[in-house]
Amino acid sequence: MSIRVDQRRAVFSELEEYCHHAGKNDYMEVTEWSNGEGFDIVIERKGSTEKFSLTYGEWSLLQVLMNWKDDKE
């Protein structure tokens, strides 16, 4: 068995400045996976924690969908 100790890159910010629904201690943290293929996201809001993970491909598609402009608009 091969065990590797790694330091992962993480970024953190309080949510209140970006979201008017956020409380005083709400935050978001994004941590890159050790293999570099994606990241974990933690959102703490009003005492509830949401955790999910995305690959970089999933993140790319999410950005496309969030910015989709329908020809009818």
Q: What is the pLDDT of residues 25-52, one digit of tens each?
A: 999 999 999 999 999 999 999 989 999 9
71 is a domain residue: no
Mean per-residue pLDDT over the chain, rounded: 94
Confidence of residue 73 (pLDDT cuts 50, 70, 90): low
pLDDT at 69: 86
Using alpha carbons, select from 1, 25, 2, 21 the residue that is nearest to residue 12.
25
Number of domains the chain contains: 1
Q: How far apart are CA 38 and CA 40, in angstroms?
A: 7
> Quick check: is 5 in a domain?
no
Buried-exposed string 16-49: b where 16+ CB fall within 10 A, e elsewhere = eeeeeebeeebebeeeebeeeeebeeebbbeeee
In a domain, 50, yes or no: yes
Residue 64 has pLDDT above 90, yes or no: yes
- Does the pLDDT value for residue 70 go beyond 90? no
Q: What is the pTM of this model?
A: 0.82
Q: Distance from CA of residue 21 to its chain's centroid? A: 18
Mean pLDDT of 45-65: 96
Residue 2 is assigned to a structural domain of this protein: no
Integer Cα distance of 25 and 2 in angstroms: 39
Give the domain range for residue 41.
10-66
Asked whether residue 37 is assigned to any structural domain, the reply reads: yes
The answer to whether residue 34 sits within a structural domain is yes
Coil, helix or strand at residue 61: helix
